[in-house]
Structure 1
Amino acid sequence: MMAKIKEFILLKIVIPIVDMMMGMKISYWYKKINKLNSLSRDKITEWQNRQFRDLIRFAYEHTVYYKEIIDKSGYSIDDFTSTDDICRLPVLTKEIIRQRYSDIVPDNITKIPHRKHSTGGSTGEPLRFIIDENTWGYVTAAKIHAWKTTGFHYGEPFLSFGSSSLFRVNKKNRLHDIYYKLRNAIALNGMNMEDSICRKYIEIARKKRVKYIYGYASSIYILASYVKKHNVKYKLNAVFTTSEVLTPEYRQVIEEAFDSKVMDCYGAHDGGITAFEIERGSYFVGYNTFCEVENPLEISTLYCSNLIDFAFPMLRYEVGDAVVMDNTANTHYNGQIIKKIEGRTGDIIRLKNGHTITNPGFTVVFKQFNVKAYRIKQLSESSLVVTLVVLPNFKKEEESKIIDTIKKYAGDDCEIRVEYIDQFEPLENGKRRFIMSK
């Protein structure tokens, strides 16, 4: 009962005020998604077409990049009337964004609520972009809707395994601070998951009466392995995995350890896409994004078009992941569905000193340094080699800081060597493993 009351206060009182002060529109999208869920597939297509027409015309009139490519395409701006016409645009790659960042930023950006962002992406190379607060609001609202399907009430406590807890979060105002406290996310470091830390996290979960866990798939898998190994009894209502591929082994161990449903969550801040595994093996793609693939019959490159982001229009954006789309009719969802995702992969490094290192959080760590790309490889039970592709302004003293940072998770007794190369050779699927175990 208290969970429902708290959810009501958050959704009906706190979030509308936060929206008004920060321009996020969470409340608007929460109601809108509820309405869109009830529409037919044809009506959803009509809505997306309207969003696309508004966005493409805006991009044509307010950005150098889109005016240039449309004028060169042989088509008039009036020829772009539906999402079927998106394929007339060239693919937007990360390299194009790096080279033409300022040309993609609209000339009236100061009138659009937004936040600047960067990501390591699936190649480990930093990418600068801008997120419209409108998109941020949609993503938050979509998560609330998706999690509710498991019985979760917004505001219930949940463990959040990631790397954001390692850094100070700049609160914009006191209301912002209150909002995040009411969300009840218990932020924990998911990068080093040795047994003593797993034991501590289970104690926190018991004390806070946590029934939900969210975070890196590998971190939750290690926690689940600890639970099984030590015969710890702790049942959860649901586990939400994210940021890396949820392997069949990870899923099985997590489900068995916590006797709970696992919902995998796929997303990319740069692409504006959110997709939640509402049904086993079916990722329901958010209505704000239109997805394309090279070959609809097999796993192939994913292109995303965020139809509601005016601060940094990204149409036909190559996210860097490969998927299989489900083109069959689904009676439970009227939007696009992804059947399989081949995305970020990385091993789990287990060291002799008991420390265990996982993959995704190091993308955040390396943002602090002038590093273009990285890889951490285990050489032995007590040694690692860090291979770097550095930016021109990289300073030699950054090397010692990188070593000190990694030692926080690997242990002071771990030997760490740094190597430098010009570029990484990707795997056959175009990816590169961030972390490689022995």
Structure 2
Amino acid sequence: MQAVKDYHYLTKNRKKLSRAQIEALQLKSLQHIVEYAKAHSPFYQDLYGNQTIQSFEDFYQLPTINKQIMMDHFSTLNTCGLIKENVMAYAVEKELNKDFLGYYQDEYVVGLSSGTSGNKGLYITPKSMTKRLPGVFLSRGGISLSDLPLRILFCLRVFSQGFDDINAPFLKLKYISTMTDMDDVIKQINQGKINLLMAPPSFIRQLLPRHEEIQVKLKKIITYAEVLSKSDQVVFEEAFKTKVIEIYQASEGQIASACKAGHLHINEDLVFIELYDEAGHLIQTPHQVGHKMVLTNLINFAQPLIRYEMNDMIALDEPCPCGSQFRRIEKVLGRSDDNIYFYDEHLKPKIVYSDLFSRWIITTSDLIREFQVVQDDISHLEITLDLLGDFDVNTLKIRLDDELAALGLKGTYTFLIQTLELPKHANKFKRFISRLKKE
């Protein structure tokens, strides 16, 4: 019954709320979590002092935090009295034993994130929240009631009790590691009569060459953990003969989910998202690239993340034809550290966004199963190609030269041909790795 209530509440919010109602709800939620944090978190008591929130302008004056600050002050930031060293020991033991189910102190789901920079992050969610995930998943998981019943194969490097808590009547979720051999993956899809596949795009690309061996009809494919490029989406939909949609979730919160039209909307009632341009100005209009995202989780009071800086880059779009006033995302560009740089004719470094460069590579040939780009120097890239057959890399060189020349840029490349494996110690396969020294 709680799942039904949550489903109707969250569905109504996205469909019915006007912008004015959304902002009123957000301001009230921000005031609530700030006051709760001040009352129950020694860290926020010291950070905020006597500051109060009467308006969004007041909220924007609060200092930001980041992953490093969060981890440095974990024991005093959380509102449950949890000690960082104890929680970390529990999380690492679970990781080493590949035992991802269960609650810490029978009350909390613990997530351990390696992060793109390699520094570990601890994220806790109370059982009272994860037990309500079926309603959240139904309303914001990119599916509809008409898709029920669902037999889901959920693919990620690690599992957690929080994902297991999605199981409910008409929702059956089975986990499989992304390191599983493809023979076994296909066997489990067919024997389990799976009708919803959930996996990162890099995992779907591994399955792509063998899509004809799947004997069941998939209602949908849902991707997460990595950016789903438009070119990948088109290729996946054509091969698997089903709709492919993306949900945008991070350890810090469920940022965005797809509407019936397949467009990503920020979950305005679950998170409060601030976007800033390169000059540090707040972005309020569509089509501007946000170079910094500041997130506030509106619903997790166990570990308040308030004005938490992330390096995710997105651009907003015009209002969606579906009618929802939740802000629509035009494109997810990845992380700011995924960008690559080339000198222009004046020897000034210029950004090329990773999603654009991905499109150039993937659309050059269907023989390119996967790729990885490493940049050590401006204007030079080491590009590893995982190929399905014979391919002349000079074809790709010509394509890249032409595309860069159209932007007034020039690059050089070193090409490697080898199999690319999914990472064993991270949930995300990184197509772009920058080793440029930060100025």
Q: Given the two structures, how large is their TM-score scaled by the length of structure 2?
A: 0.64
Q: Which residue of 2 aligns with 1:334?
A: 325
Q: Which residue of 1 aligns with 2:242?
A: 260
Q: Which residue of 2 aligns with 1:127?
A: 121
Structure 2 counterparts to residues 300-319 of structure 1, below 5 A? 300-319=291-310
CA contact (8 A) 1:225 1:253 kept: no
Q: d(CA) in 1 for partners of 2:6 and 2:236?
A: 32
Structure 2 counterparts to residues 155-166 of structure 1, below 5 A? 155-164=149-158
Q: Runs of 5+ in structure 2 lacking a partner?
A: 84-104, 278-282, 339-370, 373-383, 389-417
In structure 2, relative to structure 1, the CA distance for the partners of 1:148 and 1:178 (3 Å cut) is closer
Q: C-alpha offsets along residues 258-297 of structure 1, whole Å, 9 cap, x if unaligned?
A: 111111111112x223311334453342521010011222
How far residue 303 of structure 1 moved from its aligned partner, in angstroms, is 1.1
Q: Which has the higher contact order (CA 8 A, sep 6+)?
A: 1
CA contact (8 A) 1:281 1:340 kept: no
CA contact (8 A) 2:267 2:326 kept: yes
RMSD, aligned α-carbons: 4.0
Q: What is the aligned counterpart of 1:202 among 181, 186, 194? A: 186
1:96 paired with 2:84, answer no
In structure 2, relative to structure 1, the CA distance for the partners of 1:95 and 1:55 (3 Å cut) is same
Q: What is the aligned counterpart of 1:143 among 125, 137, 142? A: 137
Q: d(CA) in 1 for partners of 2:18 and 2:168?
A: 35
Structure 2 counterparts to residues 16-35 of structure 1, below 5 A? 16=2, 26=3, 28-35=5-12
In structure 2, relative to structure 1, the CA distance for the partners of 1:159 and 1:429 (3 Å cut) is farther
Q: Runs of 5+ in structure 1 lacking a partner?
A: 1-11, 17-25, 366-373, 378-423, 431-438
Q: Which residue of 2 aligns with 1:77?
A: 51
Q: What is the aligned counterpart of 1:187 among 175, 185, 188? A: 175
Report the residue type matching 2:425 in the other structure.
F
CA contact (8 A) 1:322 1:342 kept: yes
Instruction: Please identify which structure carries the higher helix content.
Output: 1
Q: d(CA) in 2 for partners of 1:307 and 1:210?
A: 34
Q: SS at 1:302's partner residue? A: strand
In structure 2, relative to structure 1, the CA distance for the partners of 1:132 and 1:333 (3 Å cut) is farther
Q: d(CA) in 2 for partners of 1:160 and 1:257?
A: 19
CA contact (8 A) 2:166 2:173 kept: no
Q: Given the two structures, how large is their TM-score scaled by the length of structure 1?
A: 0.64
How far residue 250 of structure 1 moved from its aligned partner, in angstroms, is 2.1
How far residue 308 of structure 1 moved from its aligned partner, in angstroms, is 1.7
1:363 paired with 2:426, answer yes
How far residue 29 of structure 1 moved from its aligned partner, in angstroms, is 2.8
Q: SS at 1:298's partner residue? A: coil
How far residue 126 of structure 1 moved from its aligned partner, in angstroms, is 0.6
Q: Which residue of 1 aligns with 2:100?
A: none
Q: d(CA) in 1 for partners of 2:173 and 2:263?
A: 27
1:251 paired with 2:224, answer no
CA contact (8 A) 1:134 1:308 kept: no
Q: Which residue of 2 aligns with 1:65?
A: 43
Q: d(CA) in 2 for partners of 1:248 and 1:325?
A: 16
